[in-house]
Structure 1
Amino acid sequence: MARTRARKGGRTLSLDDIVQTALRIADGEGLDELTIRRIAAELGVGAMTLYGYVRSKEEILDAMADHVLGGIRIPEADTADPAAVLRAAATGFLAMMREHPSIVQLMTSRVTGSIHSMEGGMEGVIARFLEAGLSPGLAVRCYSFLITYALGFAGYQRPRPWGRLDDPESAELRRQRKHFYASLPAEKFPSVVAIADDLVDLPADSQFDFGVDCFIATVVAELRRSPNRPDADRRP
């Protein structure tokens, strides 16, 4: 992404400029609003100028996924504590998807095999799992669960902002959602009406943490049962 070229006004244009602009549009407005013409307009150049760097919109999408996955930040965790390592991975995955909401759509619509994305988004995470004592098979199962769980949760929570307690409007949004559940016809929704106060937490961060905690408890129990068993990766 280091290639640059002079553009109007004496400034330079680089592939990184294109990717960052594409991410800003896609994260804020969705992939449907992302076009070569729109990116060019944001950068102050003609659409044909972008074709000096990329051959198509598909190539830009691949570069976006490459940039986000390759730059994932997983919090540090004591590798002597498998639970801490798994929780750090879950936290890092969700943070990445919140910072760049478009990655949820990108990851569920295309496959990237770039060295950069695989080094950051796969190798770095799996290496920590193995260092924490997980067998190869268990490391793969944990990686699979955590990244797909984070994808699903991030996609579910995004259009339901009352789940984000750090949102300044969350209190009012939660109040409105509780009222919605509580005001449903009781004869048709007796259970929903009865637990309206709790249902508002469906997209809450606490629900994500609950799922991660349940998963980690299962993994830790498996490690305690057979930490050094030769056939630990096999399923009955």
Structure 2
Amino acid sequence: MAERRSNRGRGTSLTPGKIIEAALRLSDHDGGLDRLTLRRIASELGVGTMTLYSYFRSRDEILDGMADYVLGRMRLPTEPPTDPAEAMREVGLAFLDMMHEHPTVIRLFGSRVTDSRPALRGAMEAPLQRLVDAGIPGPLAVRCYGFLITYTIGFASYQVPRPWGRTADTDSPEHAEQRRQRVHVYAALPRDEFPRLVELADELATLPTNQQFLVGLEGFITSVLSRTENSVQH
């Protein structure tokens, strides 16, 4: 592994984009932001640490670049929705997909603010436009956006250390086994102390699943639609 990494950067021209991609690889899959150092990034690319300073002045600049990279590439479905409920659903799921692909962004949201135009276009302008195009008034679209992004950050944070939930849709053998073990943890508790946990062990193991995310999302959508319908009637 060390030899493979040390040779990765050789024979290719180094660019800021390649540095950001390497930093994301390490942070997403190999220890998170806490272990992300310039030395590890340089090793991943097969270059000396000082080489990175030709492109970025500090680790903080790389973190800003990582946030811009992920947020600027947020993807929404090509076909716009025809109703407000579908628009809110699409934006919420797009945020969740982005955080699944790059778990690092969850921490970045909680520690940094970016004003770069690519990030603002990808993760703010485009989702807001999608909501407004579906018929949601601008001020309400802003409130919907605020809920969707903060709800997704919180839920994705809950999912990260509970991998058996995130892939319940595909139900890989590994994660199915992890869920089975989680059910066993609850079911094996003393019933006199934890009657509800024992009784609901199967359901509790589904808490970090995407289906649970949709429960909260659909509840919010119902609330928004009910509020807008009432305002129109009055």
Q: Distance in 2 between matches of 1:186 and 1:77?
A: 51
Q: Which moved more, 1:140-149 or 1:55-64?
A: 140-149
Q: What secondary structure does 1:80 align onto?
A: coil
How far 1:167 sits from its partner (Å)?
4.8
User: What's 1:86 paired with?
Assistant: 88
Aligned partner letter, 1:19 = I
User: What's 1:16 paired with?
Assistant: 17
Equivalence map 1:31-42=2 (5 Å): 31-42=33-44
Quick check: 1:65–1:103 contact (8 Å CA) kept in 2? yes
Structure ranking higher in helix proportion: 2
Quick check: 1:70–1:119 contact (8 Å CA) kept in 2? yes
Q: Distance in 2 between matches of 1:170 and 1:83?
A: 31
**C-alpha spacing 1:119/1:197, structure 2 compared with 1 (3 Å):** same
Quick check: 1:68–1:96 contact (8 Å CA) kept in 2? yes
Q: How many equivalent pairs are there?
A: 222
Find out whether 1:45 has 2:47 as its counterpart.
yes
Quick check: 2:80–2:130 contact (8 Å CA) kept in 1? no
User: What's 2:117 paired with?
Assistant: 115
Q: Distance in 2 between matches of 1:81 and 1:132?
A: 5
Q: Distance in 1 between matches of 2:228 and 2:200?
A: 37
Which of 96, 99, 115 matches 2:98? 96
Q: What secondary structure does 2:14 align onto?
A: strand
Aligned partner letter, 1:180 = V
Structure 2 unaligned regions, length at least 5: 1-8
**TM-score, length of structure 1 as denominator length:** 0.89
**C-alpha spacing 1:228/1:59, structure 2 compared with 1 (3 Å):** farther
Find out whether 1:176 has 2:177 as its counterpart.
no
Find out whether 1:187 has 2:192 as its counterpart.
yes
**TM-score, length of structure 2 as denominator length:** 0.90
Equivalence map 1:147-162=2 (5 Å): 147-162=149-164
Q: Distance in 2 between matches of 1:200 and 1:167?
A: 13
**C-alpha spacing 1:118/1:227, structure 2 compared with 1 (3 Å):** farther
**Share of identical aligned residues, percent?**
50
